[in-house]
Structure 1
Amino acid sequence: MGMSGRSRNRLALLSTVLLALIIAVMAVKEMLVKRPQQLYVTSSGAVDMCLSCHTEEKLDRAHDVEMIGCSPCHLGNPLAITKEEAHQEMVVNPGDLRIVDKTCSVEGCHPADVHKVKNSLMATNRGILGTLLFYWGESDSQNTDLTVEELIASGHNSFALDYYRKLCGTCHLWKQKNDIPDAPDFFNEKGGGCSACHFLIPETEIKAAESLVADTASEEEKAKKIHPHITAKVDQNNCIRCHNRSGRIGLSYIGIFESEGYGTPYEKGGMTRNQLPGARFYLEIADDIHHNKGMQCIDCHTRNEIMGDGTSYAHYEEQLEISCEVCHSTNPGTTRKNNVLNNLAGTNETPLLKGKIDGVMRPLRPPRPGVCDFSPHKRVSCEACHSTWVPQCYGCHVKQDQRGKHLDKLSLKETAGLWEEGRSYIRYEKPMLGIWENEVVIVTPGCQDMVTVVGKDGKDSGGFNRFTMAAINPHTTQKKGRECVDCHASPKTVGLGEGTIYQQDGKLAFRSMSRGIETSSGRTVPLDAWVDIEGEQLQHGSRPNVRPFNKKELQKILQVGLCAGCHDSYQDPLWTNYTADMACPVTTQAKGRKNETSKK
C-alpha cells in the first residue's frame, strides 16, 4: 500500500527541518571555534598550528619552537585548530624509547644516537640481569643476551626475574616517566629514555626559565608551567637520580653516605633533616676531589660511555673507556679505546681539561714521582690508594611471600609474590682490597643475599644464601692517599674482616669479631670476611677473575705492616733494600734487653 501525498509532504517537511537544525548546529559550532588569527609557519617552513596556543614555551636554541615547532617532537596533528584534534596521538615525552624512532631519531635530528642508546647498558640492563640470574643459580654464566626490552615484550619471568621486575625494575631507560600512580616523585622522575638525561627536572624549571627568558623574569612568568629545558650539558643531578643505590657512586661523589636508619645526629629532639627520598638518612663525608673542584660527571665520562657506542655490552667495564690514567699521565687525553677526549685543551707541556658545563680550564697533573710509581705498588690501582671510603652494605635479607601481591614495574600489573628487602648494617670506613685480573682494586659487598621464601600456607618453604664481593671504583677520590698502615696493618682492608691478628705456634692466626648470621639455610660466614688467614676464599667475587688475596699475598702485606707504622714514608731508606726476612733493630734490641734482664 503506497504512502499518501499528505504523508510524503510531512516526511519531506520533517527532513527539511532536521537538515536545517543540523546545519544550524554545525554553523553555531563553527562560529564558536576559536580560530587562530594567522597561519603559523616555523622558520624551517613547516606549518605548525600548535604555536597558536603554545605561545610562551621557551626552549634552548637547538630546539627553539620558532624554528622546529611542537609536532616534530610531540607528534599530534600540527594542522588542526582545536585542542581535541591537535592532541590526537600526541606524546608527552618524545624521549620515550617506545616512540623515539618517530621523534628524536628522525632524519635531521639524532638518527644515529637512538640505536646507541637502546643498546647501552642503562637501557638493556644486561649486566644486572646476567649477574642476578647467575648469582641465583638460574644461569651458568654472568653473560646474558636478555634485555629489559625483551622482558617487557615477552612477559618472561622466573624467581630471580620476579625479584628484578618488582624491586629493580625502575632503574633503566625503558621506564616511562610518571608511570606508577601514587608513587613518590622520586620513582616517577626516573627513566624516560633520552629525557632521563637530557632535560632538567621540575625542581630546576625556574632556574632554566630565568636563564632562557631573562635574569629578571617576573613572578608571573616564574609561576607558569615551564617547558623542561632540553640540554646536552647533562647535570650531575640527573646522574644521581639513578646512581644512588647499589654502589651509590652518585651519592659518594658529592660526599653523601647513606647511613643507618637511626636518624642521628638528632636535631632538637627529632630526627635529622638529612634525608634522601624514601626516608633514607645520610651523613656528609669528604666528597670526591673532582666534585670539590667543581667538576661534573660528564667532564670525565665520555659520550660513548654514557649513551653507548652501538654495541650491546654484557658488563659495565666493557662499555667504560676512561680511567684515572687518561688524565693523570705524562701523555694524557686518550682513552683505553683510543678515543681522544673532546674537552682536552692546553699544550703538551701544560695539558688542561675544559669543563663541559662551566667552561673552566683545569690543569691535568701527572702522578707524583716516587710515590705513584713506587715499584712494590705497581699492581695497585689509583683508586685503591686514593679512595678513602666506600659504602659497604652488609647482609641483604630478601623474602618472597607467596601469599601477597606486588607491583611488577615492567608490566605495571600486580602479580603474585610480595618481596621485602632489608640489610644487616652499612659502613663506609676502611675499604677492602682484592685482585681483579692482576690489579689491586677496592671491593665492597656486592650482593650478600640471604633469600627466604614463605609459601601460601605461611610457612618457610625454602631459600638460599649467596655472598659476593664486588670490585668498584667508589668515586671518593682524595688528593692524599691512604696511610700505609690502613692497608698493611688492617685485617679488614686485606679481606679478613674486623678482628685481631695474632701469632699461634709460630704462625699467623686471626680471631674475627663476627660469627656470621643464623639463617634458614644455615649459619653464614662473617659478613665482612672474604678470605681466611690461610688464604681460603669465603665469598664469591663479582667476576671470575675477581678474588681476595691468597695466603702468600696476605703474609707479604701484613709483614710490611710491622714496619709501616714507623717507616711511613716512600722515601724512607728502609724500602730501598727491603726484604721480608729483615729483622727490626728496635724490636731485636728490646728483645735482647729483656733476655739480659731475665738472666740477672
Structure 2
Amino acid sequence: MKYRHIWILLFGLALPVQADWDSDKGCLSCHQGIEQFSDIPGMDFLSCTDCHQGNPTATDQTTAHNGMWANPTDLRVVEETCGSCHADEVAKARTSIHATMAGVISGTRYDFGAQGKDALYATYDVKALHDDLPPGTVAELKQLPSYDPTKPESATNSIGDDYLRNQCLRCHIWSDGHQRDGDYRASGCAACHVEYSNAGTYEGNDAAIDKSEKDRPRFHRMTRTPGVDQCQHCHNRGARTGTSYKGMMESDGYGTPFTESGDKQGKLHGKHYNFLQADLHFDAGLSCIDCHTKDEMHGDGYLYEKKHNAVEVRCETCHGTNEAPATLKTIRGNPMDHLQRDGDRITLTTKADGKVLEVPQLAGAELSAEGKAAMVQIPAHMEKLECHACHTAWAPQCYGCHAKQDISKPSGDWLLGSSDDPSQASNKGNREANAFSWQESRSYVRWEMPALGVNSRGKVSTFIPGCQVILTQMDGENAVLNNHTYTTVDGTSGLAHNPVFAHTTSKQARTCEECHTNPKVWGLGSGVYDMSANFPDGEAPVPFELERFVDEEGNALQATNHKGARPFNKEELDNIRRVGSCLACHGSDEMPNDGQAPNDATHNAVLRKMLEE
C-alpha cells in the first residue's frame, strides 16, 4: 500500500494521521511501531519485502525470515534493491575510495617494502567506468593478496597484506563496522545513509527490537544528510580527520575527564580522548557533507589512487583568493549548489538543518596586522603554502606503532566472510579466519606544533606520522622477527610521515616564530625522544628519533607514500632558518610594520653595532 495521509477531525482541528505504509501485514504483526524507511517520493511505497525479501505471510519468525537480507544495501545484494532505481550510483560506489581503500592499501604496502607508490590493489577486483585516466587514477585494481607465512615475503606475499586484512580494512563500505562503541555501522549504502549512535543501540518504536542489543541503527530510517558522528565511525584512524574535526585527540589511556560518579569515561573507537580545540567549521555548524561533494563520497566512476586525488574542494572553493572571490564551483567545475552569491556577499546553507552562514571572502577582507604580513607583504606564502599549513591549530601525531603478529593464531579477515545471508558476509562475527592475530601499541602521542613538508601539489602542507610500523612476528612463544622495520623500494625507512589536511582549522594562524625557528616543524625532530634508551643492547629499530623524517642536508629519512610529496630540501631548510634568524630581532609583532632598514648600508651598520656591543 502506498504511503498516504488520512485527515480526521479532532476537537474541531484537522490533524494528519499516518496510514499503514506497508502491505506486508505479517511483518508488522511483530514489528509494530517500526519506522517507515523513507518518505521520499519514489521510495515511500516500498514494503518490507521489497527490500528485505523474506516471507510476509508467515506466522512464525523462522519462516518469515527465511531468505531475508538483514541489510538490503550491502554491496553484495544492492543491485537487486537500491540498484534497481539507482544503478549508476551503485556502479560508481564500487569505484569510490570508500569502497576500494586503494590509498590505505598502497601506502601500507609501500611502507612494508612490497611495492612502489602506484595503486595496484583494492578490497576486491574493480575496473574504472571511464576509459580516460586523469592524473591520480588507474584503469583497474586487483584484490589484495593474502599472506602465507610458510612462504618467503615478496611483492605478492607481504606481512603488510595480513595487517591490512585483519586490522586496517575494517573501514570500507563492503564491510560492516567494528562492533564496539563509536564504530558501529552497516555496510553498503547504509554505511552512510542509516545512522548509528556511538552506543550502537536502537532508539525507535519497533516492539520486536531489544533496545539494549548492540549493533543496531538508531532508527529504521534512511537519511540523506549523514552527520559528523556517522562519518566519525570510520574516520577515527589513519589521518583521524573525523575525531580531529570535533577536537578529539587520543589520550594515553587516562580516560579523563571523569564522569559525575567519578568513574572514567568509557572508550570510544577503542580509545580514551582528550578534548582540544575543534575545527572552526564544526563550531559554526558545518557537517562533513557541507564541504565534501556527492562525487567525492559516492564515487564518479574513476579509480583514484589516494583520497586527496578524489577530493575536488579547496579552501578557495568557498573563500576565494586575495585577488578574486569564490567561483562557487569545485576544481572539476561542479557547482556547489548550497553556496549562493548576493552581490559581494556569499552564503552557505547547511545541508542538514538549513542554517544560513555567511562565508568570509579573502578578496577585500580587512586583515589583521599579522594576516597582512603573511598574506600580502610576503606573497610567496600564498603561492607556495596550503592555507592549512598556517591555519592548522594542531594535528594528531601517533609515533612508533609497535605491531605484533602471531601466526599461530588464525584470525578474522575483513575481506573474506561467509553467511547464509549474503548481506551479512562482512559482519565481524562472520569473517573467515584467513588472517592472523595482531596487537598494536605505540611509543607516544603528541598534538602540538605539527611538522611541515611539501605535498603532492608542490605546496607546503602539514605532515603527521603515517604508518610507523615496528614489527614483531611471533609463532606462539617463538619470535620470528623482533622489532623489525622495513626499507621502502626507494631506500628510505618504512616508517612514514605524510601530508594531511588535519581538519583542525583555526582563524588564529601559527606564528612566524613557530614555523621559522622550530626544528620539529621543519621535520628535524625535537631532540627529546631517545629511542635507543628503550633498547639496552643498543639495537634500536631505527637510528633516528621518530619525529625526525629529514636530516639537515635535506635527505629523507622516513617514507612519504604520496607521489611527489617530500620533506624540505636543503635549500628550503636554509631559507626557513634564515628567516628564523631575522626573527630573533624582527619578531612577528614588528613584521606588520615592515621592520626593514631603508637600505643595505643602514642594515649592515646596525648589525656591526650589535656585534660590537
Q: Which residue of 2 aligns with 1:175?
A: 175
Question: Quick check: 1:130–1:144 contact (8 Å CA) kept in 2?
Answer: yes
**Cα RMSD after superposing both structures:** 3.7
Question: Quick check: 1:175–1:192 contact (8 Å CA) kept in 2?
Answer: yes
Say which is worse superposed, 548-557 or 568-577, in terms of deviation.
Answer: 568-577
Tell me the distance in 1 between the aligned counterparts of 2:357 and 2:167.
Answer: 41
Confirm or deny that 1:571 pairs with 2:592: yes
Q: Give the deviation of 1:168 after TM superposition.
A: 1.5
Q: Give the deviation of 1:293 after TM superposition.
A: 0.7
Match of 1:250 among 221, 242, 249: 242
Confirm or deny that 1:338 pairs with 2:330: no
Tell me the distance in 1 between the aligned counterparts of 2:297 and 2:222.
Answer: 17
> In structure 2, do the counterparts of structure 1 residues 474 and 522 end up closer, same or farther at CA, with 3 Å as the change threshold?
closer
Does the residue aligned with 2:303 lie in a helix, a strand or coil?
A: coil
Q: Give the deviation of 1:496 after TM superposition.
A: 1.0
Match of 1:562 among 571, 576, 581: 581
Q: Which residue of 2 aligns with 1:407?
A: 412
Question: Quick check: 2:296–2:312 contact (8 Å CA) kept in 1?
Answer: yes
> In structure 2, do the counterparts of structure 1 residues 207 and 568 end up closer, same or farther at CA, with 3 Å as the change threshold?
farther
Alpha-carbon deviations, 1:247-283, whole Å to 9, x = none?
Answer: 11111101111121244567899774374242x2211
> In structure 2, do the counterparts of structure 1 residues 441 and 197 end up closer, same or farther at CA, with 3 Å as the change threshold?
same
> In structure 2, do the counterparts of structure 1 residues 493 and 64 end up closer, same or farther at CA, with 3 Å as the change threshold?
same
Q: Which residue of 1 aligns with 2:461?
A: 441
Match of 2:68 among 90, 93, 101: 90
The aligned amino acid for 2:548 is: A
Tell me the distance in 1 between the aligned counterparts of 2:540 and 2:144.
Answer: 33
Task: Give the TM-score of the pair, scaled to structure 2.
Answer: 0.77
The aligned amino acid for 1:484 is: C
Larger RCO, structure (CA 8 Å, separation 6 or more): 2
Tell me the distance in 1 between the aligned counterparts of 2:224 and 2:186.
Answer: 17
Question: Quick check: 1:403–1:416 contact (8 Å CA) kept in 2?
Answer: no
Q: Give the deviation of 1:230 after TM superposition.
A: 0.9
Q: Give the deviation of 1:577 after TM superposition.
A: 8.1
The aligned amino acid for 1:372 is: M
Q: Which residue of 1 aligns with 2:288?
A: 297
Alpha-carbon deviations, 1:140-182, whole Å to 9, x = none?
Answer: 34311433468998974432211111112311111136xx8xx
Tell me the distance in 2 between the aligned counterparts of 1:339 and 1:577.
Answer: 49
Q: Give the deviation of 1:536 after TM superposition.
A: 2.2
Confirm or deny that 1:317 pairs with 2:328: no
> In structure 2, do the counterparts of structure 1 residues 271 and 445 end up closer, same or farther at CA, with 3 Å as the change threshold?
farther
Match of 1:284 among 275, 292, 295: 275
Larger Rg: 1
Match of 1:451 among 471, 476, 482: 471
Confirm or deny that 1:199 pairs with 2:194: yes
Alpha-carbon deviations, 1:301-351, whole Å to 9, x = none?
Answer: 111111111222121112111111100111331111111112112424211
Confirm or deny that 1:166 pairs with 2:177: no
The aligned amino acid for 1:121 is: I
Larger helix percent? 1
Does the residue aligned with 1:487 lie in a helix, a strand or coil?
A: helix
Confirm or deny that 1:119 pairs with 2:95: yes
Tell me the distance in 2 between the aligned counterparts of 1:193 and 1:271.
Answer: 37
Query: How many corresponding residue pairs?
Result: 526
Confirm or deny that 1:184 pairs with 2:216: no
Confirm or deny that 1:491 pairs with 2:519: yes
Alpha-carbon deviations, 1:37-62, whole Å to 9, x = none?
Answer: xxx67679996444652453223412
Q: Give the deviation of 1:63 after TM superposition.
A: 7.7
Question: Quick check: 2:497–2:559 contact (8 Å CA) kept in 1?
Answer: yes
- Structure 2 alignment gaps of length 5 or more: 5-19, 127-140, 148-156, 417-430, 487-493
Question: Quick check: 1:58–1:65 contact (8 Å CA) kept in 2?
Answer: no
Confirm or deny that 1:375 pairs with 2:371: no
Q: Give the deviation of 1:588 after TM superposition.
A: 4.2
Q: Which residue of 1 aligns with 2:50?
A: 72
Q: Which residue of 1 aligns with 2:498?
A: 470
1:18-29 alignment, distance < 5 Å:
none
The aligned amino acid for 1:282 is: Y
Task: Give the TM-score of the pair, scaled to structure 1.
Answer: 0.78
> In structure 2, do the counterparts of structure 1 residues 77 and 446 end up closer, same or farther at CA, with 3 Å as the change threshold?
same
Tell me the distance in 1 between the aligned counterparts of 2:258 and 2:546.
Answer: 29
Q: Give the deviation of 1:453 after TM superposition.
A: 2.1
Question: Quick check: 2:112–2:160 contact (8 Å CA) kept in 1?
Answer: yes
Question: Quick check: 1:532–1:538 contact (8 Å CA) kept in 2?
Answer: yes
The aligned amino acid for 2:555 is: E
The aligned amino acid for 2:328 is: G
Q: Which residue of 2 aligns with 1:479?
A: 507
Does the residue aligned with 1:340 lie in a helix, a strand or coil?
A: coil
Q: Give the deviation of 1:430 after TM superposition.
A: 0.2
